[in-house]
Each structure stands twice: as C-alpha cells, then as structure tokens.
Amino acid sequence: MIHASHRSLRIVAATALAVAVLSGCSTIKNVFDGRGKDKSTEPTALVQISPSVSVSKLWSASLGKGEDKLGIGQHPTIVDGRVYAAAIEGGVSAFDLRTGQALWRYASELPLSGGPGAGEGLVVVGSLEGDVIALDAATGAEKWKSKVSNEVIAAPAVGGGLVFVHSNDGRVTALDAATGERRWFYSADIPALTVRGTGGMTVGPGILFVGNDNGTLVALSTTDGSPVWRTPVAEPEGRSELDRMADVDGEAVLENTTLYATSHKNHTVAIDGPSGQVMWDRGNGGARGLGVSNSAVVVTDPTGNVFGLDKNTGGALWQQSGLAYRNVSAPAIQGDFAVVGDLEGVLHWLRLNDGAFAARSSLGGAITGKPVVSDGILVVQTTEGQLAAFALQ
C-alpha cells in the first residue's frame, strides 16, 4: 500500500489517502491484492504440486479483528518459547509456542498496529495513534505507556535497557525500558511517496540498525542516537516519485558482523556491520524483508517473484515465478525450506536448493506479515487476526 502523508492517521483516513495517491488504482481491493483491469497483473493461478515434505498444523488461535486491508503486515514475535501477537482490535496475546495454550491477554481499545516487539522481560506494542505500551512478558500486566510523534507500524525493538520505536514520520525514538521516558530521537528525511510501512529495526552490540523510506540503512549509536554510518541499499532514482520509491521496510538480518537488507527498488545488499561498507549488491529484492539460511538469502520482489541468492556473493541461485502478483510476504526459513504467504492465505514451502514448491497449507485471510520461525516451528498471522503454527514432519 502506498501513501503520501506522514501525519498520524486513523484507520479509515490512512486507507483513503492510499487509494487517492496511487495512480491507476480504482478500488481498495486493487491496492492490496494486485488485481486490476490489466489482466496481465491478475494473480497467477496456483499449479498442482506433489508435496515433497509433510507439514502439520500444530495449533491456531484468534487474536481479534485483524488489519484487513490496511497494509501493515502485522506478524508475531517469539521469545523464550512464547509467541506474542497483537491485533488492530483485540489487544496483545501470549501463547505457548509448542502447544498454543493461551497464557495471557492484554485488552486495549487502541488500534494496535506496530509489533509487538519483545525482549528483556518486556512486550512492547505501538498504535495507529502514536501510543507505545510496554507489558510484563510473564503476566501481560501494563508497565507503562508513552507517546511518540506519529503512528507506529513497525515492531518496536528492545535492547540495552531501551525501547526503540520507529514511527511513520521517519523518527526513531529511544524510550527508557523501565519508565517509558524519552532518552533521544533521530529523524530521517522521507520522500513524498512511500510504500505503506515503516523500516524495521535490528539491535546489535551498542548499535541500532534502521531501514528508511529513502532507501538507506543507518547505524545509530544506542547511547545517544548519533549516526555511526549511513549506507544506501538502493538509490531513489527515476523520473517520477513512483519510480524513485526505494523503501527499506523489512528488518535487516544481522549474522555475526554481516547485515543483509533489501529494498522496494529491487536491490538486496550484504553490509559489513562495523564499517557500513557494501560487500555485495544484487538487483533483486523487495521492501518487506528477507530470510537468511546457512547458504542462501531469500527475497521476494514487488511483483511476487521469489529469489534465492548466494549468501557469500549475492549470485543468483534460483527464481520462483509461480507466485507472481499474489502479494507475497517476506520469506522465513524453516529447515531446508523458505516459506512465504500470499493474498489468499496460502503458505508455500520452497526448497532452498532450487526454489521448487515443496508443500502448501491454506488459511483464512491474506498473509502479508513475515512468518516467524523458532525452535523449528513456524508461526504466521493473517489479516483477519488468525494465528497458526506449523511444523515439518
């Protein structure tokens, strides 16, 4: 979803603005699922496959009213064997990863859109109205509330005694994890037109890595928010604002000292974390994020193609085009497979060695948020507010 306003927007306003600024979109439905008058962009029909791996659904749960067509890409987070998830209407819920047993629920009348993020005994969520709420991870009891400058769509990050919040106006705010008081903030320039979403954040030792709507990845000192380095993931080039869109909305993946990040402008890079130097750059990618395995980096582009890239060089390993125009989510890695969801609520397992379809499972409601994997279990959230967990057999 694309928008041209960075003020705090309520649900209806955000949707209406998005439709207004996207040239050629006649309906809200077209914005989100890729359908339009041009038959060449109709979602690709799924072909019959012979599963090469058995997938079992372990459990499912309802979170409340989901994001529907807001284009937020909500997804759960998993810490210490617990799944934490939020819904636009329904509050925040905690579940046991393996059994799906409900552990607690925090009720809220606020439209919870950003997160949750979790760490250091906290679960933190943001709202479309700029609220930030910190909960006790063990009980769900409210610890504190704070306010930031704009709506919160990205999951807050927690580390080093701080909570980091990236609001939709490009500002990163660091809050004290114990009290919610502001410690510092950093602001990035925002283009006139951006993909609906806000850059994810990745916490490293003393450094916060932040993706920006202007196509850059910035490393900030967690002490005071000062930039350590700023590196383009993709250059915002082109004749129109639409052509120049280069958003980095998905969280970068930090592995040892290497960062992997991807941009809406079909670029994926590997960056040396300490220096900010680009180690390799590949002309495939998308705004929503990526998955990293032992040997491959997997990305989805805005059209719905899925690519496997060599982790060390960025060289092309394979391409899967069978999900074109299906509004494919960012990929997660589960065992020897990459997993993505689509606009019809179908999960697809792709073999990491060649990108071939290995299995499918269907859920109700579109899957726009990245699936999450922990201890071999994959958990996914739909736009209708359903949560489900899957294991490989």
Percent of the chain at pLDDT exceeding 90: 74
Supply φ then ψ for residue 31, to 5 degrees: -60, -40
Cβ atoms < 10 Å from Cβ of 230: 15
Q: How far apart are CA 252 and CA 65, in angstroms?
A: 28
Nearest CA-CA partner of 278 in 244, 214, 233, 341: 233
Task: Give the count of beta carbons closer than 10 Å to the beta carbon of residue 243.
Answer: 12
pLDDT > 50? residue 294: yes
Task: Determine the average pLDDT of the residues in 344-352.
Answer: 98
Predicted pLDDT of residue 121: 98
Quick one: pLDDT at residue 39? 61
**Per-residue pLDDT at 50:** 95
Pairwise CA distance, residues 130 & 147, whole Å: 6
Count Cβ atoms within 10 A of the Cβ of residue 354 and give its class: 0-12 exposed, 13-18 middle, 19 or more buried: exposed
Per residue in 233-262, pLDDT (tens digit) is 866 666 666 655 656 778 899 999 999 999
Between the CA of residue 371 and those of 46, 335, 391, what are the distances in Å?
20, 14, 13
| d(C-alpha 198, C-alpha 174), whole Å | 16
pLDDT digits (tens, 9 = 90+) for 277-290: 999 999 998 878 99
According to DSSP, the β-strands at 290-292 and 296-300 are antiparallel
Q: Return the amino acid letter for 209.
A: F
**Which pTM was predicted?**
0.88
Euclidean distance between CA atoms 183 and 260, whole angstroms? 28
What per-residue confidence (pLDDT) applies to 343?
A: 96
Res 48: pLDDT: 95
* Among 188, 230, 179, 193, residue whose Cα is nearest residue 209: 230
Q: How many Cβ atoms sit within 10 Å of the Cβ of residue 89?
A: 16
24, pLDDT greater than 90? no
DSSP string, 263-290: ETTTEEEEEETTT--EEEEES---TT-E
User: Given pLDDT bands bounded at 50, 70 and 90, which one contains residue 41?
Assistant: confident
Give the Cα separation of 61 and 63 in Å (integer). 7
